[in-house]
Amino acid sequence: MDSATFDTIVVGARCAGASLAAHLAKAGQKVLLLDAAKLPSDQPLSTHFVSPRGVDWLDELGAGEEVRRLTPPCHGIRMEMLRASVDVPYVRGRSGRCLRRLRLDSVLQECAVRAGAELRDRTKVVGLLREGDRVVGVQAVHGDARSEHRARIVVGADGRSSQVAELAGAKEYRGYDNPRFAYWAYWPRKAWDGELRRLGSYLCFHDDRVLRFVFQTDDDLLLVAAGPPLSDLPAWKGRFEEAYMRALRASPVTAAIVEGNRRATDLVGVLKLRFFFREAAGPGFALVGDAGLHKDPTPGYGITDALRDARNLAPAILDGSDAARARYWRQRDVDSCQLFECARYMGDPAYGNKLNEQIFKLAARRPDILAKLAAQVEREMSPFDVIGVGDAIGAMLRGVFTGNFSAWPSFLWAAKTGASVRRAKQESLAALAAVGGSSV
């Protein structure tokens, strides 16, 4: 049986794991990067979106230039809410990128290897080595060959169904099941001109409660998705392609993309997802990316958060202490709790309501609110600070005065969500303080 010793073993070689391996190898660590798949391989369950701040972090890794070469810029987003529409340009003319994961993950894997990490694909972790309650390595299989590899730290970056998390006994908290299912495919970039092409992304909430989104990606393609509420699933079963097309034709922007056009790829779907936090550090192990935190994909936070957390976990691993990795975990929760709840709020079918329609109309005519929307994409402010209480009350009253009495229960729901967010933030700050950390 093959056996080797490393400073850190990273299980999972996609955006979180490959970027963490690159950070650690650049710092001089001996890093083993393992992945169960035959690489390169795709990860279709992804919005692909990397925010402008995330692109900065790609630059730190030496990946930004290649990502820019491969895919066009997204300078903002068009958001539609019922009969309201608002274009949100990113601050200071900056741009995000939406590179398909086959290419993005490959670029990051190459960064890790150039930095000195050892990458092994088709290698599945089947067990953890322990000394007492401490993880000290992994048991792996590659074909018929079994191997053991020891390290001071083992990191699970192996996705939402993380084998490392399961084997380490990392517990889930704040979890819930997705209230939607989704289908998507890639289409040639047709009928995507003018401001939409410059902005590069589109998110739509209509009366039928079907979420529609479009991102422009590499090879002159668009990712076009429809996410109905789970209550619609019986009507879609057995006729997913027909129902997907009908959903896209019901909205003018997506109808213009698909009419007279031919899909470039097969239709892909997901019927069940669960979103959660997991304990992200323990004796000899840590979790990063979706292995430790899986959010609703509606606002497209996932890849940027994975890059952020890999960037923050690296110095905690280099520190070498369990305390440093505990602080990483708790700081991750402080950084993420409001984003997690915002993703939950936007992914709920009830998000498409008359109150939010009034708020979108307000944002379209208020440059100060547009600036705040752009700033929250840049992680410069919380999404729950974009609209003040006074503006929210005003939007609710305008809805009521125009006969849209559903704005009142929507306002109460939004207020309840805000209270939940504040509690989550306070709990996360208290947990960080308990391990000797302070919010940054």
pLDDT digits (tens, 9 = 90+) for 55-99: 999 999 999 999 999 999 999 999 999 999 999 999 888 999 999
**Of the candidates 190, 352, 351, the residue with the CA atom closest to the CA atom of residue 255:** 190
pLDDT 10s digits, 133-150: 999 999 999 999 999 999
CA–CA gap between residue 174 and residue 129 (Å, rounded): 29
- Asked if the model's pLDDT at residue 343 lies above 80, the reply is yes
Do the beta carbons of residue 110 and residue 102 sit within 8 Å? no
pTM: 0.95
Instruction: Supply the pLDDT for residue 408.
Output: 79
- DSSP-based three-state secondary structure for 278: strand
Q: Which two tokens stand for residue 133?
A: 């309650």
- Of 195, 251, 261, whose CA–CA distance to 226 is shortest? 251
Report pLDDT digits (tens) over 170-186.
999 999 999 999 999 99
Q: Is the pLDDT at 1 greater than 50, yes or no? A: no
Instruction: Give DSSP secondary structure letters for 300-326.
Output: --HHHHHHHHHHHHHHHHHH--HHHHH
Average pLDDT over residues 283-309: 97
Residues 6+ apart with CB under 8 A from 88: 76, 77, 78, 79, 363, 370, 373, 374, 377
**List of domains in the chain:** 2-71+100-175+278-335 (3.50.50.60), 182-270 (3.30.9.100), 345-434 (no CATH)
Helix (H) or strand (E) holding 199: helix 194-199
Residue with tokens 């609710």: 396
pLDDT 10s digits, 32-61: 999 999 999 888 778 899 999 999 999 999
Distance, CA of 295 to CA of 193 (rounded, Å): 31
State pLDDT tens for residues 312-329: 999 999 999 999 999 999
